[in-house]
Amino acid sequence: MMKIPKTIAARIIRETAKYSKILTEAKDRDVNEADTVVIVCDILSDIFGYDKYAEVTREFAIKHTYCDLAIQVGKEIKFLIEVKPVGFALQSKHLKQVIDYAANHGVDWAVLTNGVIWEVYKVKFERPLDVDFVCGINLLEMDPHKETDQEQLFILCKEGLRRDAIREFSEYRGIVNKFYIGTVVLGDRIVDDIKKELKKIVPGIKVDSAEIESILKNEVLKRDIVEGDEASQALAKYKKLTRKVAQKKSPEEKTEISETIAEDSNLQVDPGKV
């Protein structure tokens, strides 16, 4: 949990209450994209703390096309924003637009919004180009007095950018989630700990690691946590981070970790090369 200055928390509480009414009325009137952009610019100023004349750029040019908005502090583009009409549901094709803009300009962060919902993404400059979903904020449903909701807004605030809060939050959410924790639980170290604990309770009992893993995977954890694309991505991240940790360990610790990685991935790993 990041510490949010009291003055910023007070601003979030005050201004989100004001814009809750404005956005509700805009939805009722079904305002178009141009009018939604005007509201979004005001939100960027009043809630997020930017100078809308100096730090919010409209129709930001990127390779013969234009992104709706860009946040520029000093000479650096901090993130790009694609705006859709307030009544529109945000879709994957809209996300592709802003991600393409960000990739073409080398910007790490992208936001897709219809004024009410704000989706934040981290651009992964890989082949193929990919993104990580950081968080989603609904200004009409959030509780501005709740610290966790304030925290999500703070990562887009000007004051949050100074503290690199968006990166800190993204890294935290990248591992503190059900998929990554599920991957850790199914790892050899946790399975071994469970086996040792069971043997303490009933000395001499023969416990099979594969059976414990099967029970965890099929009876303890939910299926969506251990299967599917997000689970696979969590496993890949776990192996990658484990290797990084291994590089900082002593030779004895490296051997133990490399053996765990090899077992998890069915690869033969030379401890001296970890």
The one-digit pLDDT tens for each residue of the chain (274 residues) are 578 999 999 999 999 999 999 999 999 999 999 999 999 999 999 999 999 999 998 877 766 677 889 999 988 899 999 999 998 888 888 888 888 888 888 888 999 999 999 999 998 877 777 788 899 999 999 999 999 999 999 999 999 988 888 888 777 776 676 776 887 788 888 888 888 888 888 888 888 888 888 888 888 888 777 777 777 776 776 777 677 666 665 555 434 433 443 344 333 333 333 3
pTM (2 decimals)?
0.70
- From residue 56, alpha-carbon distances to 35, 121, 268 in Å are 16, 19, 52
3-class secondary structure per residue, the chain: CCCCCHHHHHHHHHHHHHHHHHHHHHHHHCCCHHHHHHHHHHHHHHCCCCCCCCCEEEEEEECCEEEEEEEEECCEEEEEEEECCCCCCCCHHHHHHHHHHHHHHCCCEEEEECCCEEEEEEEECCCCCEEEEEEEEECCCCCCCCHHHHHHHHCCCHHHHHCCHHHHHHHHHHHCCHHHHHHHHCCHHHHHHHHHHHHHHCCCCCCCHHHHHHHHHHHHCCHHHHCCHHHHHHHHHHHHHHHHHHCCCCHHHHHHHHHHHHHHHCCCCCHHHC
Structural domains of the chain, ranges and CATH numbers in brackets: 6-164 (3.90.1570), 178-273 (no CATH)
CA 6 centroid distance within chain:
25
